[in-house]
Amino acid sequence: MCGIAGFIRTDRRPVEQAELKKMIATLNHRGPDASGTQVLDSVGLAHSRLSIVDLAGGLQPMQTPDGMLSVTFNGEIFNHIELRAELQQKGYQFQTHSDTEVILLMYAEYGPECVHHFNGQWAFAIHDRRKQEVFLSRDRMGIRPLVYTQTPSRFCFASEIKALFALPDVERRVDHTALNQLFTFWSPLPPRTFFAGVSELPPGHSMIVKDGNVKIWQYWNLDYSPNEDNRSLDDWADELRSLLINATQLRLRADVSVGAYLSGGLDSSITAAIIRNYTNAPLNTFSVNFNDKDFDESQFQQEMITELGTDHQTVCCSYDDIGRIFPTVIQHTEKPVLRTAPAPMFLLSKLVRESQFKVVMTGEGADEVFGGYDLFKETKIRRFWSRQPDSKIRPLLLKRLYPYMKNLQAQSPDYLKAFFKIREDELDSPFFSHLPRWDLTAKLKTFFSDDLKQELQAQDPQAEFQQQLPAQFSEWPSFCQAQYLEAINLMPGYILSSQGDRMAMGNSVEGRFPFLDYRVVEFASRVPVRFKMNGLNEKFLLKYALRDLIPDSIRQRPKQPYRSPDAHSFIDSNSQRARFAYVNELLSPECLEAHGLFQPTAVQRLVKKMEQGRAIGTRDNMALVGILSTQILVEQMINGQTVTAGKETTAPATITS
């Protein structure tokens, strides 16, 4: 895994190598093993390398021998061996064993269509001297990041926004519309980022930059069009099993050791079990657990460790650990977050790196692809209830939801019905599945400053999202609509970025995700809904297909999403004070006033409630994390100030093996 950066001058001035070096220096965490720059014509490319494949020969930016094509590439093309053989049959000759060179020559053969042949995770830029243009592309699911901006004198791109901000002519300003979207959907809608004028190339898209003009197109999208497939459950299961085994084997291709995360849940257990049973690779696993037992899954982790006989290490997180690391976490996410969940993932990747591993396999994506989230169950129950709104029995199914949420479980049936009550106008909404989540999140906007509220008054984030839906969306089953929304919004915008790429790369670790192999994703989109969720049994097909590899206790345990402590990590209700000085500073009326995004009085009320230990709800916790992370980001990336936990730093997170 690596970091990429570069720019194309549109003002005919020469490319300054020093500027390229400044850009790439900000991405050293993504590629600490080597770095390089290349200047050709009006184009500058830069690269920071985390060497995983062809340790000796994969230096970048890489050029074809005739000097006509150059590439800077972040990611992995897992099927590079097969593609290399194809190209050799066509007469191509290779100088290295790297997948980088495969990308270059695939482009030479197929042009921009080359991406259709790739099985992997990528963000790259290819400078084509013959055509005098630059071709950029991002993988189908949005695993690897790619951001860009245009100034009057150049088009600039990079893996992360901080590299763009290394250039003096790139403006630093918060995009208020993006903030409005983030406080609705948890992430801005692509191509928006948290910063005005900075865009991200959406997943499954490519672009060409030529003569200062930008052309962007989508080369891949999910499709859940109903098909008349009458295959048996066993048929589906056999195909899924073969695909997953192959996807896992492909992702073990590396010239360095590969580890695996083990959360105690089904998905990472499956990934680890496939490695154990279908490859000769040594199995080193890593977990995070918590001092706060409400969040801890170590019992289930231990079961899988024993079952698979893995060489295992754990990092144990306290409230202080999360609060202490949080400013660093936000420096990497480059967007506000509403939960602290990325922070423990940062500590986990740190453990991986310190254990001399650069690559880690995870179960990410299975919930989106096979319908594992409670949100899918909730949607199914609400649809079922809506057919007979006066039923007294149907809403009782809601009790089956969110077993890990004690406050919700404590509700009377009457209140439960009231919370999940379906409005008439929701039934036909394309967002039926997501409205409860988005409505809850949007409540956080009550903390916005009066000026910001005024400015955003006329905006409708949902209407903007609706414009991005594909034409055939309305023809898909309700369950698949929910899957699609999750796969294009929360997954790339939060799970794979704030909680994924950014947390792993912050410690120079590459994540790999067998469930997001595009063949698995496309296969899952064709699976009948009844096999994805059977009754209220989520990920039914996945459990069935791999049932012999996973103990019943893991296969049948209630779904528990990965969560971590929020407000407690910043404010200690026992001592009734903030744990770290930066929390007080950034939430002070003066600082809030200066940044202008949140109402000081409202935030003070919230903080007081937390100090008194009375803020126990999702909404209050999300508000605190969202406000604090926004404040940190403005301080770090707009004002250029350092935010740290300072002297209050506690002992490092506990590690056991």
Catalytic positions are 2
When binding is defined by CB under 8 A, the residue of 286, 385, 448, 570 that contacts other proteins is 448
CA atoms of 482 and 113, how far apart (whole Å) = 30
Instruction: Give yes or no for a contact between 34 and 40, defined as CB atoms under 8 angstroms apart.
Output: no
Helices and strands of the chain, counted as H and E runs: 27, 20
Instruction: Give yes or no for a contact between 238 and 547, defined as CB atoms under 8 angstroms apart.
Output: no
Backbone angles phi, psi at 142, to 5 degrees: 85, 35
Q: Which residues participate in the annotated binding site for ATP?
A: 288
We find the least distance from the C-beta atom of residue 564 to other proteins, in angstroms, to be 18
When binding is defined by CB under 8 A, the residue of 227, 235, 614, 646 that contacts other proteins is 614
Q: Does 447 bind other proteins (CB under 8 A)?
A: yes
When binding is defined by CB under 8 A, the residue of 282, 589, 617, 646 that contacts other proteins is 617
Instruction: Give yes or no for a contact between 600 and 589, defined as CB atoms under 8 angstroms apart.
Output: yes
Helix axes 266-278, 233-250, angle to 10 degrees: 70
Cα of 227 vs its chain's centroid, Å: 30
Instruction: Give yes or no for a contact between 58 and 100, defined as CB atoms under 8 angstroms apart.
Output: yes
CA atoms of 266 and 536, how far apart (whole Å) = 16
Give the three-class secondary structure for 224: coil
| Identity at 460, one-letter amino acid code | D
Nearer to other proteins, 116 or 605 (CB): 605
Report how many residues bind other proteins under the rule CB under 8 A. Answer: 32
Q: Does 619 bind other proteins (CB under 8 A)?
A: yes
We find the least distance from the C-beta atom of residue 416 to other proteins, in angstroms, to be 8
Nearer to other proteins, 18 or 410 (CB): 410
Give the three-class secondary structure for 77: strand
When binding is defined by CB under 8 A, the residue of 238, 439, 460, 475 that contacts other proteins is 439
Nearer to other proteins, 539 or 595 (CB): 595
We find the least distance from the C-beta atom of residue 375 to other proteins, in angstroms, to be 16
When binding is defined by CB under 8 A, the residue of 242, 446, 459, 639 that contacts other proteins is 446
Nearer to other proteins, 233 or 602 (CB): 602
Say if strands 34-40 and 43-49 run parallel, antiparallel, or are unpaired: antiparallel
Q: Does 457 bind other proteins (CB under 8 A)?
A: no
Nearer to other proteins, 418 or 594 (CB): 418
Residues 388-427 within binding reach of other proteins (CB under 8 A): 405, 407-408, 410-412, 414-415, 418-419, 421
Q: Does 462 bind other proteins (CB under 8 A)?
A: no
Report the Cα–Cα distance between both ends of the chain, in Å, rounded: 26
Two tokens, residue 153: 């004198």
Residues 157-216 within binding reach of other proteins (CB under 8 A): none
When binding is defined by CB under 8 A, the residue of 48, 489, 599, 630 that contacts other proteins is 599
CA atoms of 12 and 421, how far apart (whole Å) = 61
Nearer to other proteins, 217 or 419 (CB): 419
- Alpha-carbon distance values, 425 to 50, 138, 432, 435, 473 (Å): 51, 37, 9, 11, 18
- Contacts to other proteins by CB under 8 A: 405, 407-408, 410-412, 414-415, 418-419, 421, 439-440, 443, 446-448, 599, 601-603, 605-606, 608-609, 614, 616-620, 623
